[in-house]
Amino acid sequence: MTVPAPQAQTSSATATATAFARGLAGVIAGQTAICSLDGTLRYRGYAIEPLARAGDFEEVAWLLLHGELPTRTQHAAFSERLAAAARSLDPAVIDALGRLAAASPQASVMDALRTGVSMLGLVEQDDAPGPRPALLEQAERLLGATPAILAAWLDLTSGRPPRPWPRGSMAKALLERLTGHEPAPEHVAIFGTTLVLYAEHEFNASTFAARTVASTGSDMHSAITAAIGALKGPLHGGANEKVLEVLGEIGGADRAEAWLHEQFAAKRVVMGFGHRVYKDGDVRAKLLGAMCRDLVRGTAAGRLEDLADRIERVMLEKKGLKPNLDWPAARVYHALGLPVKVFTPIFVVARMSGWTAHVIEQIGDNRIIRPLSIYSGAAPRDYISIAVRD
């Protein structure tokens, strides 16, 4: 909700300041043709449901970048270019990551990814935005190289030499690289669905961070590095890792209610619930939640579902809050045998498609993003020279 700004207190341009909304809630901060959340989630006009069921990350990445679904020829060539970028990660980046892995093997994988992408910008000498075809090429290289950086970092911190990038779609190759074995087709399918669901979401915090950096005339890699930093936070992408940590911490379903009451009493947010935009539930969580239950039925991972159901019921009853995408995504990744530390990095790999599309859109019709603030500091006062200060 927006409230009128006290004009006398605005820090600048008081005549144009009209409203203040904490956290920019409800503020329209720009236009986009990439994604809409009106009624249901749509990428470039296509409803999310069939895209998610197809689970084809390359198809969606192309759609976000180009505005149209790819032809079969375009899809094959695009997929091959992403795989080529993954296979040919610059040795200077691998070498630098190797030194960092030796020095800080416990570093967060998100920090490694953020650093790796920043290094890619350096080796590519990306210093300013190029024309649209050059930006699209950069986007493709980032889409292919980022999962390869992730996989290389995991190898380097485990003391293994980086293994080659596997054949097949992004979903299959990344899942194979992260688990170390060839995945079952049904696992590739649901993993692909999560990549599609994570690919894009309008003016979320990380995308807005990327657009803000791009709006200054800075380069693609600087914008994406900022976006990765924003995604790391537990109120944004970092929530999917916290969800699984919390489910592990609670233990059995019989502890759910007591644990939630402790969180409410301590005024802590419950990870995986609530959303700035969806107030009647996240359409992506509904879709993936149903798929997750089918995936884990009758397996060891199915034990978490009773606990998850109990938490969902109490959150709705007591807080009126429904799950967001991170709630089922964390359970799906756990069921696929993925370690918790790669959950948010997988989100980076997927959201790279949305981020790069937004950076290109911002550059294509740019005005610097520079909002106002309400000054809340000391009243005007006179400077006292240090020579006469105590």
| Catalytic machinery residues | 236, 275, 326
**Contact criterion met (CB below 8 Å) for 270 and 263:** yes
Asked if 286 touches ligand COA (CB under 6 A), the answer is no
Residue length, the chain? 390
Q: CA 118 to CA 355: how far, in whole Å? A: 15
Looking at beta carbons only, is 138 or 240 nearer to ligand COA? 240
What residue type is assigned to position 285 of the chain? A
Closest CA to 57 of 32, 82, 35: 82
Looking at beta carbons only, is 141 or 275 nearer to ligand COA? 275
Core vs surface per residue 120-142: b (16+ CB within 10 A) or e: bbeebebeebeeeeebbebbbbb
Asked if 276 touches ligand COA (CB under 6 A), the answer is yes
Looking at beta carbons only, is 99 or 341 nearer to ligand COA? 341
Q: CA 251 to CA 245: how far, in whole Å? A: 10
**Contact criterion met (CB below 8 Å) for 63 and 43:** yes
Which residue's structure tokens are 């236009």?
31
What burial class does residue 233 get, using C-beta atoms within 10 Å of its C-beta: 0-12 exposed, 13-18 middle, 19+ buried?
Answer: middle
Residue list 303-342, contact with ligand COA (CB under 6 A): 319, 321, 324, 326
Query: Out of 34, 150, 239, 338, which residue is the one contacting ligand COA (CB under 6 A)?
Result: 239
> Facing residues of 4 across strands?
19
Asked if 274 touches ligand COA (CB under 6 A), the answer is yes
Query: Out of 63, 256, 271, 332, which residue is the one contacting ligand COA (CB under 6 A)?
Result: 271
Asked if 272 touches ligand COA (CB under 6 A), the answer is yes
Among 105-113, 271-279, 360-368, 369-377, the segment contacting ligand COA (CB under 6 A): 271-279
Asked if 275 touches ligand COA (CB under 6 A), the answer is yes
Looking at beta carbons only, is 141 or 322 nearer to ligand COA? 322
Coil, helix or strand for 184? coil
Asked if 273 touches ligand COA (CB under 6 A), the answer is yes
Q: CA 99 to CA 366: how far, in whole Å? A: 39
Looking at beta carbons only, is 157 or 344 nearer to ligand COA? 344
Q: CA 209 to CA 186: how far, in whole Å? A: 35
Query: Please, where are the H alpha helices in 269-342?
Result: 283-296, 303-319, 326-335
Asked if 244 touches ligand COA (CB under 6 A), the answer is no
Shortest separation between residue 324's beta carbon and ligand COA, angstroms: 4
User: Of all residues in this chain, which one has the CB nearest to ligand COA in the complex?
Assistant: 274
Q: CA 209 to CA 199: how far, in whole Å? A: 16
Asked if 357 touches ligand COA (CB under 6 A), the answer is no
Q: CA 87 to CA 84: how far, in whole Å? A: 5
Residue list 206-235, contact with ligand COA (CB under 6 A): 235
Looking at beta carbons only, is 219 or 282 nearer to ligand COA? 282
Closest CA to 213 of 120, 112, 119, 128: 128
Binding mask 44-73 for ligand COA (x = CB under 6 A): ------------------------------
Shortest separation between residue 27's beta carbon and ligand COA, angstroms: 12
Looking at beta carbons only, is 54 or 235 nearer to ligand COA? 235
Asked if 269 touches ligand COA (CB under 6 A), the answer is yes
Please give the residue ranges that form the binding site for ligand COA (CB under 6 A): 23, 235-236, 239, 269-276, 319, 321, 324, 326
